[in-house]
Each structure stands twice: as C-alpha cells, then as structure tokens.
Amino acid sequence: MDPLLALRPWEAPEVTSWGRLPMNAVDRRAGALKLDGDWRFQLLPSPDAPVSEVWSSSNVPGVWTMQDTDDLPQYTNVRMPYAEFPPQSPAANPTGVYERAVDVPAEWAGRRIVLQVGAAESVLLVHVDGWPVGISKDSHLAAEFDLTEVVRPGERAVVRLTVVKWSDASHIEDQDQWWHGGVTRSVLLYATDPLHLADVTVRAGRYGELRVDCRVRDTGGALPDGWYVSGELSGQLLSQDTEFDRLNTEDDRVSDFLGEARLRTTVPDVRAWSAETPELYDLTVRLHRADGTVADTSRHRVGFRDVEIVGRDLLVNGERVFVRGVNRHDFHPLTGRTVSYDDMRADLVLLKRFGFNAIRTAHYPNDPTLYDLADELGFYVVDEADIESHDHAHEIADDPRYLNAFVDRVSRMVLRDKNHPSVIIWSLGNESDYGANHDAAAGWVRRHDPRRPLQYEGAAKLGWADPDLASDIACPMYAPLEDCVAHALSGEQTKPLIQCEYSHAMGNSNGTLADHWAAIESTPGLQGGFIWEFWDHGILQRVNDGRPVGRGGAGLYEGGVAAPGHRWAYGGDFGETIHDGAFIADGVVFPDRTPKPVMYEHREIAAPVRLECFKHEGIVLGNHQHFRGLDWLKAEWELSLADGGTRTAPAELPDLRPGETAAVPLPFELPEDSGEAWLTLRVTTAHDEPWAPRGTVVCLPQVRLRAAPPKRSVLAMRNRSVEVDADGLLIHPLLTSAPTLSLWRAPTDNDELGGTALRWRAWGLDAPARKVVDVRQAAGRLTVHAEYASDAGVVRHTQVFTPVEDGIHVEESAELPVALADVARVGSVFETVAGLDLMEWYGQGPWESYPDRAFGAPVGHHSVPVDELFTPYLRPQESGGRHGVRHFTLSAPDATGLTVVLDEPRQVSVTRYHAEDLTAVGHHDELVPRAGCVVHLDAAHRGLGTASCGPDTSPSYLVAPGVHRWSWTLRTL
C-alpha cells in the first residue's frame, strides 16, 4: 500500500509532515523552474477513492472551488462547515489530484534537486513517478521536498500532488473566510550544490550594526574542509577586518552535517528603516568551497531598525509610533486565495495612499511576496501563524494531539519571515482560546527571536496587564473605547494597548473611527490598532447559474459594482446550507479594490499634516509624522465660501521636524458678507513615490475661519398660496411624492446584527400608519398636523408651509414619545420627477458621510451625478448620505430643477431608492432604480457604529425621544 495513504494524514493530528525539509529563509526564487500553469486534474469524492483514467485540467496556482468543479466555495465565520469534532473530518472529503510531466534540466546533474509547493489546502501528498516523497500540512506556508534520489537530470519525471480538503488541520484553520481547496501558491523546482546554505538569519539594528548567521549543510554527508562564507552589502564587500567566525565544527552544538558561520559589520551613517522611510540595503551572502568558487548564494534586502517595548510603549527605532493598521487576507474575487504580485502591490499601494502603515496578516502567513512589498513600500507587519480553532477553541488549546501542529506552524512562520524588517511582531494565531499549546509555541519564539515582541489576543484577553501570559502586547479585539481609555489611565497598565481588531467594516460602518483616534492620540498607553478588514470577500458570480466566474471575469466589474447578469456572492449564494451570510463583506474596500467611503475618513485621521487651529497670528500647522519632514509634500490652499466661491493659492510648507508645529499666515483676505468660510490645505506628493505618482492627494486638512451668520426670518408671499391634497400632502410640480415624516432607514449590517433593526421593526417604524389630524390656513401659512402610529406610541408631526419668493418654506417638528428611544432618523422624505440627474451642494463631501463618520469629508462646494451618490455595499442598505449639507441643487441637463436650503447643516441623502426598496432585496442585481430622486432631509440621523462585531455608536450619536425641529426651503430653478 502507498505509505503516504497508509498514514492517513487527514485524520492524524500527530502527523504534521513526512519527508518535508526544514523551513528556512534562503532565497531560492532566482533560477528556479516555475511549474505554474495547466496541470492534469481530477477531483475525487474522498482521499480513499481510486484515481481514474479520465482527466480534466486545472490551473496552478489556483483553487478548484473557483475553477468550474462541483465543489463550490463555502463561507463560515465561527462554525465548521461539517459536524465532525476534532480531529475527525467528514467522509465526503473532496480530494484534488494534480499531475504534470517535468523535464529536469540536464545541467542539474550532480546537484541537489528540490520541489517547493508554495501552499496547498489542507493536506498535501507528493509523489514523483509513483514514488512517495512526502506529506505536508499548514495551508499557508510552503513545503519543500528533496527529489534528488527520485529524478534524473536530462529526463522527464511525473509529479503528482494530491490535495485533501478536510483534515484534522482544518479544525485549526477555522478562519473567517471562504473555504477552498487546491494549490494556492506557485510550485517551483530548483537545484543547489550539495554544499548549500541551509538557512540565513539577518539581524540589523538602527545604528548600523549587522550580524548575519549562516547555517551550512552538505547532502553528501560531512562538510568538506575549507568552506567559508562571504558577504556583500549594497555593492560594497565587507571589509577584511569584518569579524568572521566560522564556528568550530568540533563544537558540541554542531554536527559534521551542519556548519555555522557568522558575519558582522557596522554600517556608518546608516539610513534606518521605518514605515515612513523604508530604506533598504542589498545583502548578498555567498558560500564558498575551499578553492574560493561559489557553491551557493542567497540575496536579501536588509532594513536597519530596532523594535522594543519600553514600559507600556512599543518603540520603533526608539520612537513611540502609532499603529494605523488593517487586517488583510490573501483574497481575489476571481481566484479566491491565489494572488499575484500585481494584486499584492495594488493592495499595499492603496493602503499607503489612504494613510495605513501597518498590516496584520489575518489569520495566517500571507504570500511571501507581500513581505517583500511591505519592506519596500513601508509597512509594519504583525505576522500571524496559521492557527484558528474558533469552533472548538477551548478543547484544542490544551489538546496534546495538536501540540506539534501549534509549534510547527508558529516556528515555520518565524523561520520563513525572520529577515523582513517590516515584521515587527509575531502573532500566535487568532481566536483559539489559550492553553499549553500556545505557551509551547511562544517559548520557541522567545528563544529563537528575542528581538521582536509576541502577541496573542487569546492570552491578552485574560488580563491586559498580566505579565505572565504569552503576549507582550495588550491586543484586544473590539474593546469599547471607554474601557481602553480607562485602562490607560488606571495606573495598572504594563503593556502597549494595540487592538488586533477594531472598527468592524461590515457594510455601511466604521462609525466613531475619528473618536477612537482622538482618544488614542491624546492618551498615553494607547497606540492604535487594526481595522477589520481590508477586503469585502465578495466572489464574482454569474446570476444565471450561480457559479463563480473565475479568472476570465476581470472586465465584469468596476467601481465596486458587478456587471449586469453578475453579482458579488456572499455566504449562502452557492447553495450551501451551513454559512454565515454577508458577514464576509466586512472590508474597507469592495471586492474589486474600489475604496469605500471610510477610506477617506481614515486618510484624514492619519494625515501627516494637520491644521491645528486658526489664531489671530495665522494658521497653526503641525507635522504628525514620526520620522520624516515635510519636504516630500506639496500643498495648495483652498478657500470655500458659503456664497458660492472657491479660491486657491499656493502654500509653502514650513520646515518642520516630526511633532513640531508652526504658525503660517492666512493666505487670503476674507471678503465681507460672504458668510461661512472654510480653509482647506490640499496636500499632495511633491515627487513620484514608490506608492504614488507626483500630485497624488495625501490629505485635505481643514479649519473653519468664520461661522455662518444667524438665519434671517422668512417672509411670506401673501399673494401666493400652498396647495395640498385631501391627505394634507404638498402638491408641487417637481415632486412625485410629497414630503412626509421618515423614522426608518434600510437597516445597515450593524443595525441588523446589533439588534436595533429588530427593535425598529417591533415598533412598526418601517411602515407607520399616517393619519391627518388637522389642516389649517392662516396668515399666508398652511399648517398640517398628522400622527404616525407605532407600537411604542404616537409620533406627532407638524408641517408649516409658507410661500416665499420662488418657492416654499417648510417648518417641521416631530414629537417622539419616551418609548421611542434610539430610532434611525427623524426627518422628511420625498421623491422628485425624473430627469434631475446632477446634485450640487455646499457642505461635507464629496464622498458619503454620516454623523459619526464625517471627519474625512471636508466642507466645500461639491458636484456629483445622482447615480454616483449611492454606495453599493454588498448587501443593499442605508447608503449615500452626506453630512453637514447647508444647501443643494438637483438639476437636469437644461439647468431646470430645484434647490433646497436648510436651516442648519443637516444629514441629506439623494439616491434612486426608497428605504423599502433596499430592505426588500439581498443583492444589487435585484434592485430597480426609480426614475426620480428619493430625497431625505434629516433633522437627526443615528450614527453607524460597528455593532455587527464590536461596539455600537456612542450615545452622542443616537436619536433621542422628544421634540425635533427642522426647516428647509424648496425653490424652483
């Protein structure tokens, strides 16, 4: 019997590998033979099923769940997708068999030949020409196998990769993501000299000290005499007086099969690495034979930096840095878990442009290229082991059957990624409770790499200040802001507090993000956190057959929207019965990487340049970076006046070191009687950056120079009247639906999962019965009293219509009973005639904003087509709002239309959908836009919060009972 199948590794937790080579950090990509492309493929119902003679094809790397098989993607968050308890797996266990012929280069004769499989989910069995080669588990790290004895250079070999989808390992890969199966990263074949570098460890500190530890092996047996190692840093050979220790092979620590060598030097005037200044040096390490010829080479990019914890501060190069992070999965809407270099670079470029400086690799080691890019572009990385046992966390944390798996996964991650300057923290995994298995893995890390801190939320949650737990950082998830501040002020804090997850980005979300950062930046002991998460994991799906589109669908989406006949699929859309719905759609970008409005919020929160305040002597401007001056930036002043003007002027940024401020003169004279005035500094890149071309907007800090004057009283036009119908509803030639009271919004994901939408429905706010109580005409004004019935009491609504020049002035009030605490909104809703396709407004914008997510929307004059105001969150919901609107115009191409002037800055939305339209469907392809504009004018609008997973909005952003008053004027253009 096949010895690999005899081991039955899919049901043996004690088997983490067989025949697999040790992990190392030697770079083998140069000169490797890439085996990517079409492989012969068949999908078996279980690993015990016989392989047939009928083959199809499958692209490698890739998941078969996205390549037109009958095994489709499935999404679960906490639940396992099958009922079996660990370590068992289901009998119905899809198993992919991949085969291809490989011509082994003749010039590899006499060399060591190695197969590298970049990643496979979840168990990999390798055969070559029918011979068993090895086994590997761990779906997100590479596995290498020595093929020297089973292939012949100059001849053809048949490589078979058997991938079993479910196993005991699946129980510790229970991450919040789609379940897939396949070979997800590149497959390589490479050759080395029998005498080769087994590992290279680089340690480089911020003062220029460099130490390179090399481990050397020879597959022929004992190491030959006379070998040595040399190094070259950025074109400069390490000098002869560089300390070089070839550790004595007679040392008890070193066998005849393993040699160790060490290079040391100090680089003068070193340029230190940080996320702001990602300075890299090229290091080449060469292994020489006794005659001086080179047997092996490894190349690395070195960043000189230090990471340490001092007291309750995490320091990078001695500076307390703010961690502005995001959690990131390897994801693509067409290829699932397989991502290309261009994909990863685009991810990081986008994050960089929106002010992020840190990534947590949730919840496994990401593709190796990501770390190269993080080194190059400048990101702090929390590198997380491939461990999450969410559904069975408590049982597994102390289960000795899983001990080897925990230590294996954590240690292999560290061995692979230890030379990346971007990696500043190791993570033991995610949501796996806390037990002896974690402590064992933590012990290995602390012994092997004492220069980096270690974190694990499962340990930290037992006590943020407890020094005896396996986390050097207090890294809670979704901790209430007030709890974080209280801890920092308690006098008991012993560790940095950096949330591993906060501000859950599901649907229309991320409320109070600016409040969080105001507290973080003003409270010693708080240093930031990682937003959950980067992507909405929507998979592009054909509506007609319900299957994923796959690699050929790149042109079928744009701007976050799928093309007609397609949609973004979430849990349950592939016919699966066990799933967690749209909880997979919780990112700051759409599946096509289009930024959601929250990205603009974050960009301003993270702005490197701030306008602190407006004083008599001018504008106080500050540099809020940690390591960099302002010379890489360019700026321009923009003055926005309420009466319709915008003026610009060049701005000269002062020479400020990090943390410094300076007063700069006001660039404009404020015109008299121009009303409210706001000054914006448009900050852009002064030169091409690796992540942005010259002229890319970096931030738009803003300060108010003058408040709006008091509103004047409205004078009625006595020779005009207002017309209402028998139900007391306004009749107007530009309105197809009269203004009525609105207390309901299409529930956001936070509303639904946080429970508030259930309460609103129980009150009957989605369809309250309206009854006209009284209609009166007096002194040129028409007053309508109406009542709206709810199960929590009657809402009394009054509208006073006054004819004014070119329009109608509307004064409204709504009295909410005490029982109606925390409603969605209080305001007016109406619908316009068709053809009004452009919205122009003065207020916050141009992107969507809400009361608790409005920091990143500067006040100014904005113009956006009505069809672009709506934000297509994957599950249709409340969307498209603009906060702080003073007045707006809806116009047709011939300049006809209407203008609305509000009594004070209000929440306004203009879309093609009523709230009930959005509430009734689950996907955007089911929506039918209305011809006219649906307009909401809100006296009060509830904040968004993040209650789908985390704290709700703050009390100050709730809509309280009592009397609400608002007024507005409707004019015809």
173 is catalytic: no
**187 in helix, strand or coil?**
strand
**Of 970, 835, 829, the residue nearest 907 (C-alpha):** 829
Residue 303 CA to residue 372 CA, distance in Å, equals 11
Other Cβ atoms less than 10 A from the Cβ of 929: the count is: 13
Residue 10 CA to residue 167 CA, distance in Å, equals 4
Q: State the helix-helix crossing angle for 597-605 and 513-522, rounded to 10 degrees.
A: 20
Query: What six digits make up the tokens of 93?
Result: 């266990």
CA angle in degrees (0–180, nearest 5) for 107-193-105: 20
Residue 296 CA to residue 290 CA, distance in Å, equals 13
Residue 401 CA to residue 16 CA, distance in Å, equals 11
Strand arrangement, sheet containing 156-164: 17-18, 131-137, 123-128, 156-164, 95-103, 37-44, 56-60
Is residue 716 within 8 Å of 779, Cβ to Cβ?
Answer: yes
For residue 61, which amino acid is it? P
Is residue 717 within 8 Å of 804, Cβ to Cβ?
Answer: yes
**Of 390, 350, 394, the residue nearest 583 (C-alpha):** 390
CB under 8 Å to 268, separation ≥6 — which residues? 208
| Centroid of chain to Cα 396 | 28
In terms of C-beta density within 10 A (0-12 exposed, 13-18 middle, 19 or more buried), how is residue 892 classed?
Answer: middle
CB under 8 Å to 79, separation ≥6 — which residues? 391, 578, 580
Is residue 367 within 8 Å of 413, Cβ to Cβ?
Answer: no
558 is catalytic: no
Residue in 121, 144, 173, 431 annotated catalytic: 431
Element (H, E) at 757: helix 756-763
In terms of C-beta density within 10 A (0-12 exposed, 13-18 middle, 19 or more buried), how is residue 927 classed?
Answer: middle
Q: What is the DSSP letter of 386?
A: S
Residue in 144, 173, 501, 638 annotated catalytic: 501
Sign of the dihedral through C-alpha 145, 148, 150, 156: positive
DSSP per-residue string spanning 533-581: -SBB-PEEEETTT--B--GGGTTSEETTEEPTTEEEE-TTTTS-SS--G
**Of 522, 536, 533, the residue nearest 569 (C-alpha):** 536
Residues taking part in catalysis: 431, 501
